[in-house]
Chains A and B, each alone.
Chain A
């Protein structure tokens, strides 16, 4: 699912603030409480001062102009100017304080979530798509931090504005003030309803938008098929349905928004009319001044803006709380595989490895491995073969202790491997996966990932062993060559050679290859083969492979089918018995030979290009 869709889906969730969540949110603020107090104080003061400006203007009218006193005027002007400077300082204060605090909270949260993610087990990763985890770290943290800064700021500003306007209005004329308060509930109801409607349309338009992007994507990727089938006109017709939907939704959202403010203004105009009418009458009987009326009109706007804005803030708040809950849930997740309390460092894991009646399943009732027993002598090379989904990779996952057996025991050197710390097992296992994974950065950095303190010479030596040195030196920058995002500047074969070099550099005690040659060309395959052999010399190794020459060299071949060991033995033994391995071998043999003789083309090349 695309990141955008995940985002959309999760945005639907809203949540009410509960006491425990509130407490935890506050807990995030604790280290920075000074910043928070600072911005709350400055925004409150700003909102309060806003009301004072109006009060000064009232004084200019009623006292300065009416009494025709220039000195009074100058005095008020000085107040006004001074206040303006103070106000500017306050504005600087709250933008800076709230903004930086927001960035800081986001920084803190991302750090915490990332660090926690590092400790979570592979099972967590297999249950949660990468897109979703990305959303936890990026958008959820953003939403929480803006709730705690700009959200809080809006609320404070609204409350102080409303209160100070109320006070000033009551001070000037309580009867008029009551008229104004009469329209507030109406405004609130309208604002809330509008927001809801606009939000619905806005979501529709975003959903339509992500569909449009998806359609673009597909049509561009499949453009050759489209052309071959001559389907351009139909495609355009279908696409224009999507853009029509997008149009309706976003047009509706846009004009609803355009309707909202005028509605608020018209309603408040009734209050304005009432002020003018009543104030005008009062002015004759009770000496209600122009300044007062002017002030009232201003205070009216001070009240209306925050109130109509509150509906937005409230809606955002509910989403942010849902975000906070998702983050807290992630932080509360315990890693499924973790060190036992009394775990010890393994001195070495180079000894005997034993799977003793091991059961494993990822989901309940769907057994992947059943009662699997296997003893591996130190230095032995084991080839795991069998159909896809039979459980080969699971065996590797268990061996690396990415997962732990659900029943049965895995022993290393005769001791249950959960007695050891994870670190001491992981740091001694070298693994090369089917799809090589590289990180952005140089080739050197990627190889050095295997052993961080390795010198440049060590890196190069490892690359030589892995057979990667030759192609690396053809690059203009050699080992300093950038591999691009996820290594996308390199071919799959090159990436695989680098990941092999990385494993070589790590000097592992157990070496694992998971179909590492299945998606590379023949030449690279031969290189990998050589590198592998160097690496496997006197190491315990587990190889999942298709290539016959690799399998044949194994000390023992284990055929895994439906989570059980179907056959086990040497190449010769297994061929003799004419079983699973025999069938697998003869089929594979033809394919490989054809490839080797250049008769069959192994890779999928699109016909239309």
Chain B
């Protein structure tokens, strides 16, 4: 609404953390409380107009058939005024109802928008540890359906309670004005209606959940059947599958029937309660009218007003029960909100240009928060700018953990790492991550165009020519040209599926554009066929020029040219040096080297024996 300056689309929901859930929801409403107040006031005006309509009806009836003096002199003129009054009141009523609805959705949608923005941002800034222990599905469930129930809370329940309360208050006062006895007589069963409806909606919510659960089960059965169609057919199990589906389907029917039985009992029952309350009121009002305690026009006015006193109460039960859903969702969201973020700007050194890439590890040890065993033990070595370090060792030897310390994905627990002579922990994470490029063996690509994937995270505007040059250097340009939409081809299920090697080359192009000083490379080309291996190798060599490079290697060929080779085992460096030195030593490196040589010999033997 134009009446208030629009609040920011970003809000720190950590401020809404509290043990009292309703207070928390109240805090979430910050900046929008005025809108809510205005919405409620509009609602009050609207409800008042409706009430006045009935009071006008009373005046009209009393003027026409009773003995009330026409207020505008003649009856004809009074009637014109009354008719205009109805139209006017309806306009006010409708107009303010609209304003109220618009304000409420303005607030609810506004709060939801910034909640979504906040959660998105918050989640991407949570620590690696949090992400490794939290399943994606669970997070998605929370940011979609829980956000939606919070939205429903702000859109319906937050305003609905006010609406029912206002309707009740205004109409009760109006009837009280007509006759206090009538007013009291009209609300006798309201507590019962309220209790019954809360009771009912609680149960119906449970029954509905049971029904939905069965629906989900049926979906699973269906999905497993459809995705496993080859298995079903290969074992000729169509009949068995049909029986299984039938069982779930029938159970769902039974649960649906149960749910409906509840509905079909509650609605008429509450109809009877409300109906007899109204009837009682009607009779009482009619008797009062006959006795002359109220005018004849008061009767139809009462009949109109009492409807707005009683029927909304049936809905109050639903609103109350639904509020509890909103509260549960609030809690589930707050479990995400309360997680600590990874501090990106934590550090004191802001180098004026690029770093040089001189890295010293001094007795560096690392262990995970939960574990007691060291993942890395007393690692010491030195790399000069532009040199390459190859890490060789089996899975779990600590290679990956070691390189993950560099961008401060994890913090080393002992010893120190010096970058250009300064403690690594003094560099803010965001600075380090700008300076470090990572190329994984099979990198994660986003469902965007190839062009966007190449320029993803580069942090500046890049021209099409630049992107293409990077792609050429990464030996992926020709592949991209072959796609139907070239660089605009989407990656993923709506576009093309890239092979592991192609993905890696896209990541190489991206890293070339980013131009970091330090490079982390997962070099395992074992699964790619021979032609592309040469291409990838050439691209990698271009990438490594003038950068301090860490190579996670899986075969001897890819480490032979490194300036420094670290052979790792169980978190420690067991051997260190260059290829020519290490081959000469007795140790793990030579063992691996010997095996590689032996394989070639074995192959020759194998082939000659077959012939």
Contact = CB atoms under 8 A, between A and B. Distances in A.
Interface of A: 1, 57, 60-61, 64-66, 68-70, 73-74, 77, 80-81, 84-85, 87-89, 91-93, 95-96, 99-100, 103-104, 106-107, 110-111, 114-115, 117-119, 122, 125, 130, 133-134, 137-138, 212-232, 234-236, 239-240, 243-244, 246-247, 250-251, 254-255, 257-259, 261-263, 265-266, 268-270, 272-274, 276-277, 280-281, 283-284, 289-291, 293-294, 297, 400, 402, 422-423, 426-427, 429-431, 433, 437, 439-440, 449-450, 452, 485-486, 499, 502, 506, 571-572, 575-576, 582, 586-587, 589-591, 593-594, 597-602, 604-609
Nearest to A246: B113
Interface stretch (B166-174, B227-235, B468-476): B227-235
Contacts of A228: 407, 409, 433, 436, 438, 457
A227 B109 contact: no
Contacts of A225: 443-444, 457
B98 interface: yes
19 contacts: A84-B279, A99-B260, A104-B253, A114-B222, A130-B226, A212-B116, A229-B457, A255-B102, A262-B95, A262-B98, A265-B94, A290-B296, A293-B61, A430-B234, A486-B223, A486-B224, A571-B610, A590-B599, A599-B554
Given A73-B286, A283-B64, A223 B131 contact: yes
A33 to B, nearest CB: 19
Contacts of B252: 103, 107
A60 B271 CA distance: 21
Given A243-B9, A591-B526, A232 B124 contact: yes
B101 A294 contact: no
A220 B123 contact: yes
B595 A597 contact: yes
Interface in B436-459: 436, 438, 440-444, 446-447, 456-457, 459
Contacts of B529: 587
Contacts of A119: 238
B233 A426 contact: yes
Interface string B497-533: 0001000000000000010000010101011011000
B64 A277 contact: no
B290 A80 contact: no
A184 B286 CA distance: 34
Contact of A277 (B80, B269, B526, B602): B80
Given A65-B289, A88-B268, A601-B554, A423 B236 contact: yes
B79 A602 contact: no
Interface stretch (B239-247, B356-364, B377-385): B239-247
Main secondary structure of the interface of A (DSSP, over half): helix
Contacts of A89: 268
Contact of B269 (A88, A122, A607): A88
Given A57-B282, A450-B235, A240 B94 contact: no
B75 interface: yes
Contacts, number: 446
Interface string B50-75: 00000001001101110000000001
A111 to B, nearest CB: 6
B555 A600 contact: yes
A235 B124 contact: yes
Nearest to A214: B447
A349 B484 CA distance: 46
Interface string B86-123: 11011101110110111011101110110011001101
Nearest to B272: A88
A575 B610 contact: yes
Contact of B136 (A64, A95, A217): A217
Contact of A263 (B94, B106, B132, B271): B94
B603 A440 contact: no
Contact of A118 (B97, B238, B610): B238
Nearest to B237: A449
Query: Nearest 5 CB-CB pairs, A to B?
Result: A258-B101, A229-B457, A262-B94, A269-B90, A254-B105
Contacts of B607: 575, 582, 586
B87 A269 contact: yes
B373 interface: no
Contacts of B526: 591, 594, 600, 602
Contact of B235 (A91, A274, A506, A575): A506
Contacts of B79: 276-277, 280-281
B570 interface: no
A264 to B, nearest CB: 8
A274 to B, nearest CB: 7
B23 interface: no
Given A111-B246, A231-B457, A437 B296 contact: no
Given A87-B275, A272-B86, A572-B611, A138 B219 contact: yes
Nearest to A428: B236
A227 B409 contact: yes
B303 A589 contact: no
A234 B84 CA distance: 57
Nearest to B90: A269
B413 interface: no
A427 to B, nearest CB: 4
Contacts of A270: 87
Contacts of B279: 77, 80-81, 84
Contacts of B75: 280-281, 284
Contacts of B554: 599-601
Contacts of A263: 94
Contact of B226 (A134, A250, A251, A575): A134
B581 interface: no
Contact of B444 (A100, A222, A251): A222
Contacts of A240: 9-10, 117
A125 B436 CA distance: 46
B481 interface: no
Contacts of A95: 260, 263-264, 267-268
Interface stretch (B30-38, B139-147, B201-209, B319-327): B139-147
A61 B296 contact: yes
B300 A400 contact: no
Contacts of B132: 609
A74 B233 CA distance: 73
B253 A107 contact: yes
A125 B230 CA distance: 10
B538 to A, nearest CB: 20
B532 to A, nearest CB: 13
B287 A73 contact: yes
B232 A118 contact: yes
Given A229-B456, A269-B86, A258 B98 contact: yes
B349 interface: no
Contact of A87 (B104, B232, B263, B271): B271
Given A61-B296, A272-B90, A590-B603, A400 B234 contact: yes
B552 interface: yes
A593 B555 CA distance: 12
Contacts of A57: 282, 303
B220 A485 contact: yes
B5 interface: no
Given A280-B60, A575-B610, A118 B87 contact: no
B533 to A, nearest CB: 10
A463 B86 CA distance: 82
B542 interface: no
A60 B286 contact: yes
Given A117-B225, A217-B140, A261-B97, 8 more contacts: A103-B260, A212-B144, A236-B121, A244-B113, A255-B106, A290-B297, A506-B235, A593-B595
Contacts of A111: 245-246, 249
Most chain B CB neighbours (cut-off 10 Å) among A84, A230, A257, A265: A230
